[in-house]
Amino acid sequence: MMTAKEYVESLRKLNTRVYMFGEKIDNWVDHPMIRPSINCVAMTYALAQDPQYEELMTATSSLTGHKINRFTHLHQSSEDLVKKVKMQRLLGQKTASCFQRCVGMDAFNAVFSTTFEIDEKYGTHYHDNFKKFLTFVQDEDLTVDGAMTDPKGDRSKAPHDQADPDMYVHVVERRSDGIVVCGAKCHQTGSVNSHWHIFMPTISMGEADRDWAVSFACPTDAEGMYMVYGRQSCDTRKLEDGCIDVGNSKFGGQEALVVLDHVFIPNEYIFLNGEYDFAGMMVERFAGYHRQSYGGCKVGVGDVVIGAAALAAEYNGVEKASAVKDKLIEMTHLNETLYSCGIACSCEGCPTKAGNYQIDLLLANVCKQNVTRFPYEIVRLAEDIAGGLMVTMPSEKDFSSETVVGRNGETIGDICNKFFAAREGVSTEDRQRIMRFLENMCLGAAAVGYRTESLHGAGSPQAQRIMIARQGDIQGKKQLAKKIAGIQSK
C-alpha cells in the first residue's frame, strides 16, 4: 500500500490536463486551490499506515489474498459494509471535508456484480476484464474516480434524442481492439486527484440508446481527456496570504467537469458495451452503495460542525445556556440518526450473484433521503449558536494591520482585537479561527461538500423517493392490513 507522501508524488508523474479560470494549470498538485483536496485523499493513505486504524482502513483482498486499502475492497460481508461506514465517519472527523475515494469504491462494487450478470446472460467477458483491472488497482493502491453523472442536456429526452449526442457519454467508433468514446461527466468528485476513472451510465436506457450504454476504465491522463475545475464559494481566499480566513486551510473537496474528446478505450478495459438492459442495474447498484456512504462521511463532518458550534458557544460565554445545550442535543440527534441509517442498511446487506455484498437498497435510499435534510438543520443550528460575527467579521489582515487609526495610536489590528475579544481566557485569534471555520463549513468551500452535496450527491432527493416507492412494497403492506382486518377480497 502507498504512503500519503507516495500518493502525492504519484500524481506528479501523471500528465493530467487541468483547466481553471480559462487557463491550463501545469503544476496543479501544488496549486493552493487544489492542494487541500489532495491532502484529503492523502489522509486515506496515511490512516491505512497507522496501526491504530488498521482494522477499519485495510482489508484482505478477495481477489489476491493480499492486504489492501479498504477503499479498493470488494465487500465480502455485512461486517465489511459496516466497517466501510465507520471508516468514512473517521475520515470525515479527520478532514472535515470530502476525501473523494468513496465514489471509486462504490463503483468497484457495483460494476463487479453487474458485469457478472451481464456475462451470465450474454457470454461476454466484462467480469474478467473488471477483475483484472481491480487486481491492478489493489496491487498499486490507486485512487479511482467513479464517473456517472452526464450533463443530460434536455432532460425530457433520452440520450439518443438529444440535439447534441455528447450530452451523454457514448461510443462513436467500434474497432477490433476497442472503442472510441465522446461526451463528459459533470460534478466529478476527486477527478483531478485520481489515477484512473471508471465511467458508468447515469440512467436506465432502451434499445435506441445502445451506443450510450457503456462502462469502461480509463487513465486520468489519457489522450483526449481533460478537466475543467469547478468553482467553490470563497475559493479564491486560498490564494491570499494567511490561512485563518480560509477556515479549513489544510483540507477541502474538489469537483470538475471531465471531458472525453474521442478517447480510445482498449477492449480489456470495457465493462459494458451496448447491453442497454443492464445500464439501469449498474446505476441502481452504484447509487445504493453511494447513498450508504453518506451515512458515514457526512456524519463525520457533522461531528466536526457540532464540535465547532460548541466551541463557538464556549468562546462567546454561552455554553451553559439551556437553549444552546438544547441545540447541540438536537444537532447530535440528527447526526446520529444519519449514522444509524448507514449502519442499518449495512447490517441488512446480502450477497450478490457475483459474491460481493450489497447493502439493503431501501434502507440506503432512506439514509440518503435523510441526508438531504438533516445537514441543513445541523448547519442552521450551528449558525444560530455562532451568531452573526461568523459572516461579518473583518479580514485576517485587519486583525494584524499596523495602520494607525486611534487618537492614542491604536492600529486597526488593536481595534479589531479589542472589540472582537472572546470571553476571558480565550484569545481573540482563537475566536476568529472558529468563526471562520464555521463560515467555511456552513457557507464557504466546505459547504459544497457538506450542505449542498448532501442534497444533490448520489442523486437529488426525488431520485431516492422514486427508489423508496419501488422498494417500499406497498402491495405487501396492504396484504398485511387485509389479513388482520379480515378482508377476503383480492
Catalytic residues: 98, 102, 189, 255, 290, 294, 297, 453
Nearest to 290 by CA among 98, 419, 486: 98
Q: H-helix or E-strand containing 286?
A: helix 279-316
Task: Name the one residue in this structure whose C-alpha cell is 464555521.
Answer: 438
Helices and strands (H and E) in the chain: how many: 18, 14
DSSP-derived secondary structure for 331-345: HHHHHHHHHHHHHHH
Q: Would you say 285 and 358 are in contact if contact means Cβ atoms under 8 Å apart?
A: yes
CA dist., res. 385 & res. 382, Å (int): 5
Question: Mapping DSSP to helix (H, G, I), strand (E, B) and coil, where does residue 404 land?
Answer: strand
Cα–Cα distances in Å, from 176 out to 122, 208, 266?
19, 23, 9
CA distances from 370 to 56, 74, 78, 335 (A): 25, 26, 22, 10
What's the maximum distance between 2 C-alpha atoms anywhere in the chain? 92
Cα R_g (the chain), whole angstroms: 24
Cell numbers describing residue 232: 467553490
Give CA separation, 21 vs 137, 251, 418, 419, in Å.
32, 21, 39, 38
Question: Which pairs count as long-range contacts for 130-137, CB under 8 Å and 24+ apart, including other chains?
Answer: 130/271, 131/63, 132/268, 133/217, 133/268, 133/269, 134/63, 134/72, 134/74, 134/108, 135/61, 135/63, 135/64, 137/72, 137/108, 137/196
For residue 222, CA distances in Å to 167, 261, 265, 440 come to 20, 10, 9, 34
Contact, 1 vs 213, CB < 8 A? no
3-state SS assignment for residue 422: coil
Please give the full DSSP string across 444-461, using - where no structure is assigned: SHHHIIIIIHHHHTTS-H
